[in-house]
Every structure is written in C-alpha cells, then in structure tokens.
Chains A and B, each alone.
Chain A
Amino acid sequence: MPPGLKRSYVDEANVRLSKKQPLLLEEVSSIKEHPLTSDGRLDSHSGSVGSENDPTDNEDGALVGETILCKTAQGHTEGGKAHKPPTGAEVRAIKAAQDLFLSSSFKLQVDALLPNIRPKDSRKPPLERFLFSLHAYLSSLPPVEPQHPLAAARALAEGSLLSNNSGKKKGSRRDGTGPPSQMVFVPYSSPAPTEDANWKVSFEKPSNIAIVGSWINNVAVKSPDGQPWVVDVAVEMPPGLFQEKDYMNYRFFHKRAFYLAVIAKHVSDPKSHLNVDVCYESKRGDTRLTTLILRHNHDNTPTDFSKLNAVIRIIPTLPTSSPIRQTRCSPTRSNFRVPLHELTGSDYENRPTPLYNAVLMLASSPLRDVLSVNTLKNDIPAYHDALSLLRVWANQRGYGGGRRTCIRGFEGAGPLWITSLELLIRGEEPRGEKNAKSLPSRTGLSSYQLFKAVLDLLSRHDFSHKPLFVKSKGGRLFAAEEYSGRFEAVLVDSSSCVNVLAGVPLASIEMLKLDARATLEVLDGTCGDPFSEVFLLDHRDLTSRFDCVLAVDLSSVARERISLHDVLENGSFSGALLTSLSIRLREALGSRVNALAILHRSSQPRPLSEGLPTDPTNIFIGLVLDQERAFRLVDQGPPATEPRSHAEEAFCELWGNKAEVRRFQDGSITESVVWHVQDSDKRAHIPVMIVQHILARHFGVGSGSVTSWQPEFDKLLRLPPTITSHYRTSGFKAALTAFQTLASTIKRLDKELPLAVANISPVAPELRYTSVFAPVSVPTDVVSTLQPCARYIQLIALNLEFEKSARWPDDLVTIQKTKMTFFERLAQVLAKNTPGLRARVATTLPTGVPPTADHAQLEITTPDGWAFALRIWHDREATLLDRILHSPPATLSSHDLENVREARRLYTQRFIAAPRHHRSVAALHHRFVAFGGTVRLVKRWLAAHWLLRLHVGEEAVEVLCAAMFVGVGPANVPSTRERGFARVVRLLRDWDWSNGVTIPLCGKSEPGPAVYSSAVPGAKGVWVLRTEADPDGRMWTVDAPNAGVESGVLNVHGMFVHPEDDYDFVVKLRPTVLPRYFQNVTADTAVWINSGNDASQNGEAPARPGFDPAEKYLDDLTRIYADTAKFFYDPLGGDRFGGIWDPSITKPLPFRVMNHFSSMPVTKEHFREKGKHRDSVVLNEDAVLSEIVRMGEGLVQR
C-alpha cells in the first residue's frame, strides 16, 4: 500500500468526492498525493518516523519557531555539539520555546507527551485493510423492501427478513447450515412505533461511506483507562428512504434505528467474513444517538486490527440532499406531539423541542465537521497540538469517556473541544446588538497559547446568559433569539447548525469553568510542577475533587415525577431525570456551591439483543462548596407579599414544607428555609442535607438511597460518648477560654513575682484547632470515676516570657535552676489565689539532653480540670549557647559541644519555631474553614497507621496540610475536611520522595519565612526516614479513598485500620492499663464499661496529667534500640506496636565492643556458607524481643 494513502484520507477533495460516489480509495490516492505540511511537523515531534519528511524544508513557515524547534531537537540528539555557539535557527527555536510556552522545559515536556497520546502508525495498516473490506461489504448490501416498522423489526429479530431477501437471489443460503446468526433487535427509541403507524421502513445500500471524526483527520487522542481508539465511519442513508415529514415524532430516528439494525444484522452475520463483535452503543443513554460498535476478534489475519486496540463506530448520517429541511430544526420548533390527555393544558402541545431538534441536526454533521477540522488543521499549524492538549486535559478531569465516572453531559464531547478551539481561531460571529464586543479571530498562537486561551474562555464566559456563535461563512442559520431560553448553554459551531452544548447541564459547565480556572491558577502559579499537574495527573478522584460526595441509588425514583415531554425531549428517562435533577439542585444550593456535578458511568456497549440502553442506577453528586456561604443556616427567599408572587410560589414549590415566612433582624419578612444543627460537625452537613431534601421532595428518593461519608469521618474525631459524658467541658473554644483565663490570672499576679510577665503564648495544637480530639477538661474529682484506660489528660503547652532583665545569671545551668525557682514561686502564688488549682514542677529531662538545656516545666491543673504545661522562654540562653558554639573553649570535649548544639536546637524548636508555627497555623484555621479538620483527620490517619509522633511530627503534618490550602489558588482550596484529607492522601501517594515541597506557609503577613524554610526540610527528613525504613513504600499505597468511593462502598473505618503484615514483630499491649486506650480507632467499649474489678484501684490513683506509660515505653525502646529496629506505634491509644529490624544488621557483622545491638556469635553453618570472619556476630532477635517484653512488664500483654 502506498504510504500516501493515509494522508489522502485527510484530503478535502477526497471527502467532497466521496459524497458523489462510493469511496474508491485507490483512485483517490492517485488523484492527489501531496505531503501535508503539518504532517511533517507532527512526525518530527514523535521523532520516530521523522525520517521520511525532512522538516528543514519548511523553515519559512508562519510559525518558524515551532518548526525549527523540532529540528534542533533532532540535530542535537545526534550531534551533541553543545559547545558550539548555536546557529541562528537554533536561537530562534529556543527563544520561541521560551516565549510561546510557559517555559522551555514545559515545551519539551509537551513534545514528550504528544507521541504517547497518538496512535502508532505501525499499527494502522491492518485497520486500513479492514476498512476496505468493510467498505466493499457495506456497498454490496441488498436492499429491504418498505415494510411496516413493527413487522420489519419482528422479521429482523426472527431472522426471516434478510434471509428472505437474499434468498430471492441466492437460494442456497436458506438452508442455514452455518452457525445461527445473532438475534438483532431494532433499537427503536421509546415510545416505539405503534401498530397504526402509516409509514414504512426500508433499507438500501449506503449512498456514501466515509471515515469521519478525529481519526480521519489524524487528531485522535488516546482514551483514558485503556479504552479503545474509535474510528468513526459515517454511513450515509440514501435520501430516498425519507419523506419530508420525517422530522416529526421520532420518525427519522425510528428509520435510522432500523437502518442501523439491518447493518448490524449483516455485519454480525458470520458469512460476512468480517469476524467482528458487534454491539450497540448509545452515548449519554440517548437512544437517538445509537451507533454500532465493531470490534475485531483476534485472528491474525491481515485485517486483524485488534492490536491497535481500536473499534469502528458506524454512524448513520443524513445526506444534505435529504427531504428533511434544516429550517424545521430551529430551536423554537415543536417537532413531536405528546398525546393531549397526558398533559394539563392544550398550550403544551406546541412546546418547542430544542434538544430533539438539535439531535436531529447532528445527523448531517459528521462530514461537515471533518471538513472544518481539516481546514483548521491545515491553516493553523498549532491547532493539532492544541486540540490534543485540550483533550488530554479534559480526559484527566472526567469530561469524556473512560471506565471511571464521567461528568454528566460531556460524554462524547469531542465536538465541544473542536468547536471551542474553532471559536478562538475563527473568532465570534458579530453579535447583533451594538457595542457588544465579539471575540476576535486569533491565528498566530502556539499550541500552548491556544490551550490556555480556551481555558481562559471557558473559565470566564457566562454561558448561562450569553450564547456563543463561531464565525461562519454563511452567517447564522438561526438567530440568537431563537436559542435564548431554549438551552441551558449555547455554543454554535461554524456550520451554524449545531449547538455543541445542547444537553449539557449548566451545572456541569460550571464545573468545567471551575476546573479551567483551577488549571489557570496552577499555570500562573509558581510552585510545584505545572506540567504534570495539568496533563499527567488523573483528577477524577471524587473525594479529592469534591467537597461533598453523595452516592445516590436511583432505583427508587418516582417515575411519575418526570413528564413525558421531558423524557421525549431528552431521549431517555434517565436523561430527563438527570437534567431535572441538576436544575433543581443548582437552584436549591445557589451560592453555597461554586459548582456541582452529576457523575455517572460512561455508557457501555450493549449486545444487539438489547434495543434500549439500561439506565444508570447509581450516580454520584459532587459539590464544590463556597467556603464562606456553604454553611449558612438560613436561606432567604423572596419577600412575602399578600397575594403570593410568582417568585414566592416557585420558592415554596422548591422547598415544600421547609419553606416558612420569617421576620429578620433588618425588619424584612421573607420566605426562608432554616436549617437546624446541633454542633459544628453537623453544620458542615448542611449542603448534603439540602441535596437529600431536594431528592426526597422532588424525586421521591428516600434518605436510605443517598449515601454520604461525612458522618463516618466525624466519628473518627470524636471520643466515645460513654467517656465524654464524664467530662465537664470540651471543645477548642472552651480550651482557648481556659487559656485566656489562666493567662490573665498569671498577669494579674505578677506583682508577686520577681519579674513582670511579658507574654504567654500558646504552642499547643489544642489551642490552634488542630489536635485530633477536641480538648477536654477533666476535673480532679472526675478522674477517679474514670477507668484507667480512659484517664489520659492532655497537657496544653504554653510559653511564658518574662520582661527582659539583665539580672539573670550568666550561666546556662543556673538559668535552668532559676527557671525552677520561678516555677515554684508561680506555683505557690497561683495555688494561693485560685482555690482548687494544682501546680507541680516537672523536670522532664529526656535522656540524652544536657542539663544546660531547658528541661523544667510547670504543670498546672485548673479547678475546671484544664491541664497546662508552662515553660519559660529566656532569650539570654540563645546568646550564651551561640557564644559557646562560635568559639568553643578549649576545655570543652566534643561530647559537651554536641550537648550544647542539642540544647541550642531544643531552644530554637521550643521557643522560636513553635510559637511562630502556632501563630501561622492558627491564622490558617481562620482563613480556611476546612484546615483544622483536615489536619485532624490526617493526624488521625497517620496515627492509625502507626506513624504519627515517632516518625512524623504533629507540626510536620500541619505544614503538610497547609500545602493543600496556601499557594494552590482559590479554586483548589478544599472546603471540607474530607476533601482536604483525600488531597493529602493523594499527595502522599503521588509524592516523589526525593523532592521536598516548599510550602509558603507564612505568606505575606508574617515576617521571616526563613524559619519555616528550616522547618520544612525538617519535615522532609522525616519522610525520607520513613521511606528508608520501608523501602517497598507499601504503607502509602494502602487505601487510596477513591477506589472505595467509586465502587459505592467506601469503608471509612477500614481506611483507618492498619495492616500488620509488614512488620517483623508486633507486640500487644494491655488495653486496660493504657490511659489513652479510649482514643483508639477500634476501641472496645467493654474494656472500660465492664472492668468493674478495677474500681478499687480508681480511688487511690491520683490525676497524672500527661501521663502515658505507653508513650514513654516506646520512647525508651526507640532510644535503646536506635540502631537495632524501627518502632511503629499509634500514639492515640494504640494497643499494639510493630517493629522492623534495621536491614543493616540482619546479616553477620564482625564483632566489636560497641556494636550497639544485642548480638550473638554466628553459628558454624552461618560462617561457613558466607565465608565470613570467624568472629562474626548476628543480631540476637529472641533476646531483644525478650528484653522488650521484660521492660514492658505490666504493659505488654503476655
């Protein structure tokens, strides 16, 4: 086959020619064979097939930059003459890459991406051979005499229809000795033709067969999820089959369905020797758009194109010479009649049917589209790449096919992308009214610029009010007024016939707008890797994309709520239902949401024996909330007037019994809806409650059929009610109040202290809304009523700063003693002034910390039961430590110097970094409603996976979560903690550990981001450590939440249960003695309810704020076995911990005095096989485990 053949497909002349007579490929290929300029450019992009077309030919093109770019790219991989000065052409190319793209590396990345999303030329020849044989076969099909539609359908199903016809010619076929042919039903739209139909269906061989769509123009883009390429074949039905009035009452669609069924019958017949699987497919579940899908069976014949992973889609089209006139399809026309008794008034009879008409118009568009795309592709070199980028972008966001859920209305949305690019290039048809600026035509843009311009258009255009018309040669077919109010959104293509947004709900378009805006923010932003964010990452995860996700089971929908007119207009019941649903929800949620989307599975091919597609039963509703308005308690409607206004009626109709008339503070009396909630957790549920209310009121979907995962997540952050009932007060606000009370008490008492108190600053997650559980107060008398396994009292850390004084001692150790004196003084004074207050000085000196470091704290338990831990910040310490570090005295040993360094580190962490961190994080809580909740969920999750504290610090989690909120642009900020959590998990999953993240936490408001840059590498170190300990990295791949959501059953609880298989050893602890056991994710209430025999101990046990033996135990183990094993433990009441042996010591090592692990000599076999030194030792695992158990006596469950 000549290589020019492929290109000749694209030829305009070819398509025009093929209208007149059946496609004769050989002939056509000889008529015209000139290499397309853009083709050569394309080849050089891929780099693999560039040899046949030398791109140096066309240096003089309009977009010289791009062309030469490829040349340089090629030349250098061969030559590698990097030291020579670049030639002029190269300089131009490099400059073009920098100027026309985001950056030159972005350009290179785009070039690397494009070949991966285009079909491989080497796989095409079998397909082409198959297309020839298909063409020949279809052109030879025998006609079917006009028959009554139902009779014809019955005959087809029985198999008698075609065999009779063919039998007339070739009698031998009647025997039917071959395998029984497939049962084929005619996919008549519902309502199917009736017995009294006075029109006939018939079949004649196609008047034209042409390859159309993106394949023929070579602009196809790979489908996501391994879905096949689609090669569209337009089969033109001869005009003789139709009558002028066929646009009425689905008659055209019924005839089309019959035509398709006949082809299906023939093609699926084994005697056709095509060897294909044949299915029906209806995009969007619309029976009017039913097509035929041919998939070749694997048989290694020359026509076997199954390696390409492609299917052929047969689309019956209407010839331009058909008797059905285009003017009948104006959006204002009413083209089907609903029987009167179904409706309430006679005026409904002539209700316009714009969607029906739009679908009718589609029947003649495929060939036209091929021409316009081909023209564009030839005119604008960057068009092809821009279209590819746009489609990859859309596919990654669910605006298209794929096995996962797609957004309602965007299935098969290819024309939309083509048309929006067309709009940018061709410009907009001048608007009728004056002063209205229409979009200009833009031709000289690069592919990236075009892509960005489309996103910009999508993100900014107000589709609901302003229709868009691509400039067309023949002017407008229908006036703009005819479109207004008929469609939710209007974008008419260059043929001026088709509104490509027909049937796309406005809500979905708003989602598209939001995504476009988010992408532009990423492209304009500075941080991260914009390329992979925009093109490479899959953004279809529901949980990280939407603030609220609801799974709705539609099987219980009351079918009578949808009018017959709507069903006919939308082509199916489910189509009408989803349209109505999105309109209602959009109205009800109003400004609470930035966008809402209805998602469902994309339509799947169905066997020929199924005439109608099955309606989707499970859909998802995703809400992207406006964080300021989403959680308001009152929806105000129109003002109440005496004769109820139209708006009032509509409001009441929408809300039903929820609507009530209320008087507001400003004196207005309006219709309104009030949502009653008990606590802040419930308040976050309001948008979901609204959706549930609307579903129940308008569609009869009970709450049992609607699943939302929010309550499950709430449960994770709440303590068991059997414990909380003992507490006096709880909550972040209460903790803050208690802190302020204490601070003011101390300040009031400062006359009795040696120095005035300058400042008391909180440094605890409890006081910045980021502790996993809301802080609680446990008064001393309550403690004794609690079981030992629920007696934990969290200490809330504070820093106390005295006024500056020059009279502090100048010796580091003495400074620490002075602090203790201050504490003692403060304790006495406080206890005297506040009855019931307890204060103790604690010298919590972690092992290994020198006495020069800060080590004393004052633990205060207020009469209400709040526990605080106070430390003194004295900035002289830093000076003294730095002095030693800068010029160490000669007498100082290296060990002591290490101690000083450690003391300095502690100082910086406690008194410089911690307060600053606290302020930044507290500020984030006030800026982003979901921030605190996100941090709490992530902490809980990390803790449940045994990572928090020992491996990932709480502050590190806060910084990590902040990355989801700051620097991502407003369109990407999560508004609920569930989404924030999902995004963090996603980040952890995708994170390339070798690269750190930079989080602009401080923003502009805070001075000195320098400290943070030091804190972030700290966090990074932790992650790196983690990956070293578990080289498989399996920990992070567990339970990405989305997989669960899409299958409809997300097990939230299960995500927080840790698998234990990856550990070398797991030790069980006794839950009854762990003071934090009640915080465990899987806490067993029986542990504290039924253990009555421990009651005797309760009385004697005093309150010990901050006492957690398990935590201490694990700290000790981590220190003792620092070089032996890594430990993993859930600090929130974990009743088990795991460990992994350090991989470096699991093999025999030479004996040393300081081996830092418990060893034993290798056995004889061991060193014989290894040939090791005789004095080798190995880790004595049994002894270590035995020691661990021994040191945990009383804690470890035997």
Chain B
Amino acid sequence: MPPTNSSVGTISGFSILAVQYDHATHHMLYIRAHVGSSSKKNPKKTDWPEGRTMFMVNVPPDATEREIVLLFKSCGTVEKVIFDADEPGEDSDSDSDSDSTDDDTGSETSQPRARKRPPKSAADQSTRPNVVPLPVIPHRTLRKTGHTAHILFLDASSCTRALALARPGGKPIQWPVDGDTECPRGLAHYVLQYEADRPSLDAVRAHGDSASKYKKGEALVDEDGFTLVVRGGAYGQAVGGGVGVASRKFMDERVKRKGHKEGNTFYAFQIHEKKRDGATLLFFSSLFFTLNLISALLELKRKWEEDKAAVEKLKSSKKFKPY
C-alpha cells in the first residue's frame, strides 16, 4: 500500500523518507541529522562531523554507496557513505547519537553480524604489514535488512536539503535501480562473486607468501618471528594414513582405563569406610540400615508415583486408544 504523503511524518525523532521502488511499492527510510557522541564511552569510534552527517535507518539490504550518492544527487554531493554493519566490532545500534530516541537500544541483544571483509581488510594489514592483498573485483555487498548508515555530505547545506526531502507533503523519490554495470544484481552478481572468490594462483601465491613469509628454500624462522612450515615435524616423517585416528583411539582407551580405576578406588574406599563404621557402631549401623530401608522404600514409592503421573499425563492426551 503506497503511503499517502500526509502519513509521512516523523517517528521517534526520525523523519520518514518514502522511497519509491516501483510504481506501487515504497520503502521507508528513517533519517535525521547525526548528533556527535556526548559520552566518551567509545573513544575509538570515528567522530563524524556534525552538521553535514546524516544518520539513516532501514537502508535497503542491497544498497551501494553509489546508489545512495545517486539518491541524494539533487541535494548536493555526498562525500562518503559508512555502512555501520561493515564497521568491525561495532555495536552499530549504540550509535553515537545517544539521545532519547534510542531508549531501548540498550536492551537490544541481537547484534548485527558485522560483515568482515576477507583477510585483505585494513585491520589485518595494520598488524601484518606488507601483505599483498588479493585482487578485489568490486561487487555488491548484501547486508542484513534494516541496517543503518551514516552519510557524510560535502557541506552542511546539502545535508539540510537532504533532510528536507522528508518533509510532509514531499513527493516520494525514486530509488536509483537502473544501470550500475560495475555492481550488477542477481545472476550477474553471483557470477561475479564466484569469480571474485577464485583469484588467480599467482595472486594467491603473492598474497599467501606475503602473509606467512614462506618462500621455498629460505630459512626456517624469519626475523619477524613467523615460523615456516616444512617437512619433518613433531612426529618425523609421515607414516601414512590413519595416524591421527590411531593415536586418538589410544588416548581414549587410556582415559577409559583410568576412569575405571578411579571408580574402583572410590568404591573400595566406600566399602572400607562402611566396614569401619560397622565395626565400631553396630547399633547405629542397624539403625542406619532401617533408615536406609525406609528411604529405599520411599524411593521405590516415589518412582512408582512418578511413573503413574507420567502415564496419567499420557492418558489425558488420549494416547491409549490403539484404534
């Protein structure tokens, strides 16, 4: 049902921007100006400039930066789009805009699964310098539905204009679906992804070597502390298949034997104790015996009652009619 313009208003401090997918279908974007983080609870979080940053909720799952740029083309130039789901380790809903609107975000338990880039991501490169990245074929990233984004405009006026798009009475704007040849959708996307996942062997070698510092014929341990993997390991030459299995089995048996022995000693200890008690306190032991018997009987009865209760329960669910 296409929303009428009058219904487009605000919700929890967000302006509602209706985006038209096709003639009858509208997608709702919730936008507002980004407010910088007041608390210092998360100091490493990037502080986006207030004023020219827009916070957008319910971004379409397949949105690309380019599409968002196109969406706001009429309002001005977008400098950068940050998809919060891509930020590693970030609780993207505890967005720096910590005002009253997000009153229930704290209780939000399900974290969006941050999409980690393959090893070529910046984080890896920072800890392990000089890694040759795998060639990247750009393709569309599909994020979980209802995710959020921060949009940095080049200037504050563009941001204001963009926010004004959602004013009541404004016309729904068209989602730019057409013709992105670099990031196709659907079938072409999957073909591209298939190829992107399978880089050439040369690229793999360059990447892997740079990461693990392995070069054939080089020294075993390099100066960075990276260990090289070569023949002749902990168990010497390989002895053919099934080594691991055999050793594990052996271990299992050992554990089993051990456990068995322990049980015995425990049991013996118990017997011993019983004997000692019996020798010293004959009267009490006979008393114990009686008590034991009674408790055993009570146990017997308890079990019987349990069984009966279970059967009664089954009976009430009409389980005893064979046909």
Contacts and interface: CB of A to CB of B under 8 A. Distances in A.
Interface string B187-213: 111110110011101001101110110
Interface of A: 73, 76, 82-83, 85-86, 90-91, 94-95, 97, 103-105, 108-109, 111-113, 116-117, 222, 224-226, 392, 395-396, 402, 532, 535-536, 538, 750, 753-760, 801-810, 813-814, 816-818, 820-824, 827-828, 839-845, 847-851, 855, 859, 875, 893, 895-896, 898-899, 1007-1008, 1073, 1104, 1107, 1109, 1112-1113, 1116, 1119-1124, 1150-1161, 1163-1164, 1175, 1177, 1180, 1182-1187, 1190-1196
Interface residues of B, number: 118
Contact of B187 (A111, A804, A1150, A1194): A1194
A1175 B11 contact: yes
B146 A1159 contact: yes
Contacts of A806: 233-234
The 3 A-B residue pairs whose C-beta atoms are closest, nearest first, are: A805-B233, A1193-B186, A1194-B187
Contacts of B271: none
Interface in B212-270: 212, 214, 216, 220, 226-235, 237-244, 248-249, 252-253
Given A91-B300, A1120-B144, A1191-B189, 6 more contacts: A803-B231, A813-B211, A816-B119, A1123-B110, A1152-B108, A1163-B3
B74 interface: no
Contact of B235 (A116, A117, A803): A803
A1120 B58 contact: no
8 contacts: A82-B302, A94-B301, A824-B204, A841-B204, A1007-B249, A1153-B105, A1190-B186, A1195-B186
Contacts of B238: 750, 755-758, 802-803
Given A805-B232, A851-B124, A1113 B27 contact: no
Contact of A813 (B124, B214, B233): B124
**What DSSP secondary structure best describes chain A's contact surface?**
mixed
A817 B119 contact: yes
Contacts of A845: 118, 197
B16 interface: yes
Contacts of B287: none
A859 B307 contact: no
B229 to A, nearest CB: 5
Contact of B230 (A538, A754, A809, A842): A754
B322 A395 contact: yes
A817 B110 contact: no
Contacts of B128: 813-814
Interface of B: 1, 3, 7, 9, 11-12, 14, 16, 21-22, 24-28, 30, 57-58, 60-62, 88-89, 91-93, 95, 101-102, 104-105, 108, 110-116, 118-119, 121, 124, 128, 134, 142-146, 148, 177, 184-191, 193-194, 197-199, 201, 204-205, 207-209, 211-212, 214, 216, 220, 226-235, 237-244, 248-249, 252-253, 294, 297-298, 300-305, 307-308, 310-311, 314-315, 319-323
B233 A807 contact: yes
Given A756-B238, A805-B230, A807-B227, A1191 B322 contact: no
Given A1161-B7, A1186-B27, A1187-B61, A116 B321 contact: yes
A105 B309 CA distance: 10
A1104 B301 CA distance: 68
Contacts of A1154: 92-93, 105, 108, 110, 112, 146, 148
B207 A817 contact: yes
A803 to B, nearest CB: 4
**Which of A111, A760, A847, A1184: most chain B Cβ within 10 A?**
A847
B143 A814 contact: no
B208 A824 contact: yes
B111 A1180 contact: no
Contacts of A1122: 144
Contacts of A850: 116
A668 B304 CA distance: 66
B297 A91 contact: yes
B198 to A, nearest CB: 5
A85 B297 contact: yes
Nearest to A760: B241
A896 B89 contact: yes
A1191 B185 contact: yes
B235 A804 contact: yes
A808 B62 CA distance: 39
A813 B235 CA distance: 24
B304 A97 contact: yes
Contacts of B116: 848-851, 899
Contacts of A1161: 3, 7, 9, 11, 16, 28
Contacts of A226: 323
Contacts of B205: 821, 824
Given A754-B230, A758-B243, A1104-B194, A1119 B144 contact: yes
